[in-house]
């Protein structure tokens, strides 16, 4: 499909989600045009704006995108297995959304700062976060797992949509820092050495109904903040379908705030990369925020505590499996002679090594001393916390050397019914 330069207005043809297109027709709105470069058949199309961005992707980069998607899917499978085996308290699968995450993550630059929700494992991979560190939080041994300052990838946010507010605030801070740097450089006659930066805020279609998202977009638009809102529309907010969340494509909401909104095929890693690169350039250049709606699908459960068979049909899942992002890129790489059997074999082997590393590391994670929770409450020592810690230690000492009450009761009952020695 082709498209015009992204703006706050749309015209074009209907997208493949007919329910949303029909809803727009009822409201008198033209359906939002979806950017797609690589179709489910593995054939590359043309777009007047984004083909130029896609053309910059070398064969090596394209192979890297495939390897990343395959690695994060293998990681997802392993993490799900670890949860089922009792090694993790919970897991949040991403299968089906690999292209949306890898494509957007690889389009970012090191100076950009990313605010994820709790499902952006693929984005974490692109930001060089140790994937084993992701599992600390899901195992319950850490409140985070990694230092965001090392990768410009923020800690996961479990409170729905809260990270969008944080992202806009951070973007406004970047904006002011860059203006100050420019002013100082002009006064001193020296060039600015630091590259301009932007922020990406990830959230889902369910989170788009939260007030925090609305407030974030109001602030971002009002202050022209350098932030890209990246909505992964995976069609299900747990058991609530997108059709209930919105009457129009989510990308159209950007018009109400006065900045560009783009709907992209979220299973097309090439298109996602191109659109995100464009949006980040737009933000870094001081042109303000952009909303990207990655039209994709959550193939698995919302979390390992969820059963999607209770609220959606298998036929729907099968239809989306036919749009698999990995299979799509693999078809293209093979058809164009950009990857051979040795490459795909190595990708599989690398994935197995990653899974083994993650499993081994997870088993080796130690439960931290609970006293660290007291130590990390304030930056400096606090008398009230010290008093609470003293109470806790005294309370814990009361159990030293004692057997659990249930064990004591069992032993007492055994003594009453057991025959005495010599009788």
What residues are annotated to the active site?
298, 302, 311
The residue count for the chain = 423
Place of tokens 């809260």: 162
The span from the CA of 228 to the CA of 168, in Å, is 9
- Residue 286 Cα to chain centre, angstroms: 25
User: Do the Cβ atoms of 98 and 125 come closer than 8 Å?
Assistant: no
What is the end-to-end Cα distance of the chain in Å, rounded? 92
- 32 and 231 Cβ atoms separated by less than 8 Å: no
Q: Which residues contact 101 (CB under 8 A, 6 or more apart)?
A: 72, 94, 120, 121, 122, 123, 126, 232
Number of Cβ atoms within 10 Å of the Cβ of 234: 24
């Amino acid at each position: 499909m082709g498209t015009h330069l992204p703006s706050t207005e749309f015209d074009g043809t209907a997208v493949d989600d007919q329910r949303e297109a029909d809803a727009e027709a009822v409201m008198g709105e033209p359906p939002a045009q979806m950017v797609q470069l690589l179709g489910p058949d593995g054939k590359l199309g043309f777009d007047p704006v984004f083909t130029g961005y896609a053309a910059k992707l070398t064969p090596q980069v394209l192979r890297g995108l495939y390897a990343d998607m395959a690695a994060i899917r293998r990681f997802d499978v392993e993490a799900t297995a670890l949860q089922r085996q009792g090694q993790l308290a919970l897991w949040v699968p991403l299968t089906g959304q690999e292209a949306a995450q890898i494509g957007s993550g690889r389009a970012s630059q090191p100076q950009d700062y990313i605010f994820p929700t709790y499902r952006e494992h693929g984005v974490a991979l692109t930001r060089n976060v140790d994937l084993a560190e992701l599992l600390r939080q899901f195992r319950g041994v850490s409140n985070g797992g990694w230092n965001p300052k090392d990768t410009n990838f923020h800690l996961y946010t479990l409170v729905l949509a809260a990270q969008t507010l944080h992202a806009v605030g951070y973007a406004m801070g970047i904006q002011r820092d860059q203006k100050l740097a420019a002013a100082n450089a002009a006064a001193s006659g020296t060039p600015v050495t630091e590259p301009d930066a932007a922020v990406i805020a990830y959230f889902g279609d369910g989170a788009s109904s939260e007030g925090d998202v609305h407030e974030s977009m109001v602030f971002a638009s009002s202050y022209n903040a350098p932030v890209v809102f990246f909505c992964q529309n995976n069609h299900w907010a747990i058991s609530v379908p997108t059709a209930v969340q919105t009457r129009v494509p989510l990308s159209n909401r950007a018009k109400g705030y006065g900045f560009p909104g783009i709907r992209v095929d979220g299973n097309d890693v090439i298109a996602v990369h191109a659109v995100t690169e464009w949006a980040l350039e737009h933000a870094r250049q001081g042109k303000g925020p952009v909303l990207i709606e990655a039209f994709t699908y959550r193939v698995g459960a919302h979390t390992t505590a969820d059963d999607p068979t209770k609220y959606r049909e298998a036929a729907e899942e099968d239809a989306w499996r036919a749009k698999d992002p990995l299979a799509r890129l693999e078809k293209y790489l093979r058809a164009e002679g950009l990857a051979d059997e040795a490459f795909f074999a190595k990708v599989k082997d690398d994935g197995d090594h990653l899974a083994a590393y993650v499993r081994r590391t997870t088993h080796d994670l130690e439960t931290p001393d609970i006293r660290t929770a007291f130590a990390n409450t304030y930056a400096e020592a606090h008398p009230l916390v010290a008093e609470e810690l003293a109470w806790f230690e005294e309370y814990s000492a009361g159990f030293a050397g004692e057997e659990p009450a249930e064990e004591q009761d069992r032993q007492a009952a055994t003594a009453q019914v057991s025959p005495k020695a010599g009788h």
